Amino acid sequence: MNYPQRAMRRHGLGLGLVLLLVVVVAGCRAGRLQGENYGADDEPYIRRDVPSDAIATGGRVAYRVILVGDTGEPVPDDPTLAAIGRWAAPQERAAVVLLGDNLYPSGLAVNDRPRGEAILRQQLAATSALRIFVPGNHDWGPSPQDWTGAHIVAQQEFVLAWPEGDVDFLPRDGCAGPAVRELLKPGDGLEQGIAVVAIDWMPWFSAVADTNRCPDGDFGTRIDAAFSALKRHFVIVVSHFPLRSGGIRAGFSRGFIINLFMDFYHLLRPRPPLNLYNPQYMVLAKQVKDALARHQPLVYAAGHDHSLQIFEADEVARLHIVSGAGSAGKVSPVTAVNGTIFAHAVPGFAVLDFAIHDGVDTPVVRIVRTGQEVPVFQMRIP
């Protein structure tokens, strides 16, 4: 839907036709907003047919995984980071997965390193649980010509040098992955184990990425190899980029006037294809979907859209989670779309709790809104 200006000139389109096209495109975008925005002043969207007997309360948690993305613009004494610390603290075994855009606006840049290190330090100090950092597009640098991977390696080295507790950075060295981190071995509190499989799409988007240190071979083959070692595990696939969303990154409206301005801006100055409706994004999404559909992990979790969303099972995963509301100042509108179970545009994060109910391993998803101690939503994963 976004066309480079030079293409317009090549086809001889005048300014009037360009403006007309912008109005049509923006009008289509605005029209794609089905239903209301579920913002901070509104109740969250919760699908009515979620069965009441699926609501999970109580039970001893054997392992907890906190999923939070887009945390790269914290405020002093950030309440979301503080809430993450509280939710991780009661668990002897817990992990916090930061789903990318860990440092706005341009990653760990040389000319802004003291500020960047301070922000990363604030996130690292938020909890003593295992912290797994996953890269996002902002972590790669400010523009496509900077996407060599140098910013990623700098952030990776800073995170891995953190002296307190267990930390990880996945995938490493600016590679696409998959990179595997086992969180719990089978039989250690649960019959099944738990593992995180991390993917970074940015090397595919970049024309200048240095992948010399990355594994060779087809992505799907590497996914198959990773899952072959995880047959007795609940697998959580994590990436910055979602496969499903009802937010702005999926083309849902910020309002007609803002859309009009943004589409005109992008026509004059094309941006990288980092939205779900972009053709290149869709090609890469299909590559990921095809690889994961052979294994159907428990969860596919991402950030990128600055809201909290849960989607029902499909051929790719038993649950999709978008948890990109880690920075309160960046929360953006969200609506309910086909398959939405939960949607809310508020600061917060998702929690996966793994417990034993009636002798059976039972994963539970909870949504925590910053400032509220009780989850606003929770359900067993079918």
Q: Provide φ and ψ at 94, rounded to 5°.
A: -155, 155
CA angle at residue 244 from 123 to 323, to 5 degrees? 20
Give the residue from 107, 200, 118, 201 showing the smallest Cα distance to 154: 107
On whether the CB atoms of residues 83 and 370 are closer than 8 A, the answer is yes
Residues 6+ apart with CB under 8 A from 130: 94, 95, 96, 165, 166, 167, 168, 183
Q: Omega before 74 cis (within 30°)?
A: no
Helices and strands in the chain: count of H runs, count of E runs: 9, 15
Q: How confident is the model at residue 268 (pLDDT cuts 50, 70, 90)?
A: low
Cβ 382 vs Cβ 317: under 8 Å: no
Residue-wise pLDDT tens digits, 74-120? 999 999 999 999 999 888 899 999 999 999 999 999 999 999 999 99
Please give the backbone phi and psi of residue 120, each rounded to the nearest 5 degrees, phi first.
Answer: -65, -40
Could you tell me the CA-to-CA distances from 216 to 204, 222, 284 in Å, in that order? Answer: 14, 9, 18
CA count, 13 A, side-chain hemisphere, 104: 12
Q: Quick one: CA dihedral 14, 20, 24, 27, positive or negative?
A: positive
243: tokens are 């496969």
Q: What tokens were used for 145?
A: 């010509």
Q: Which of 20, 25, 23, 19 lies closest to 251, judged by CA?
A: 25
Please provide residue 67's backbone torsions phi and psi, each rounded to the nearest 5 degrees.
Answer: -115, 115
- Of 369 and 261, the structure prediction assigns the larger pLDDT to 369
Query: In the sheet that 348-357 helps form, which strands lie side by side, from edge to edge?
Result: 167-169, 130-133, 94-98, 61-68, 348-357, 360-369, 377-380
CA distance 341 to 338: 9
> How far, in Å, are 55, 58, 81, 138, 366 from residue 375 at the CA level?
11, 13, 16, 29, 6
Q: Which range has the worst mean pLDDT, 188-202, 209-223, 254-268?
A: 254-268
Contact 377, 367 (CB under 8 A): yes
Indicate whether 236 pLDDT > 60.
yes
- Which domains are present in the chain? 37-247+273-380 (3.60.21.10)
Closest CA to 121 of 168, 88, 87, 74: 74
Considering all CA atoms of the chain, what is the largest pairwise distance in Å, rounded to the nearest integer? 69
DSSP 37-104: ---TTSPPEE-TTS-GGG----S-EEEEEEEE----SPPTT-HHHHHHHHHHTT-SSEEEEE-S--ST
Phi, psi of 168 (to 5 degrees): -150, 160
pLDDT of 195 over the 70 cut:
yes
3-state secondary structure 114-158: HHHHHHHHHHHCCCCCEEEECCCCHHHCCCHHHCCCHHHHHHHHH
176, 223 contact by CB (below 8 A): no
Report residue 57's pLDDT band, with 50, 70 and 90 as the boundaries: low
pLDDT tens digits, one per residue of 317-329: 999 999 999 999 9
Give the pLDDT score at 373. Answer: 87
pLDDT band for 271, please (50, 70, 90 cuts): low
Question: Residue 9 has what pLDDT?
Answer: 34
pLDDT confidence of residue 32: 47
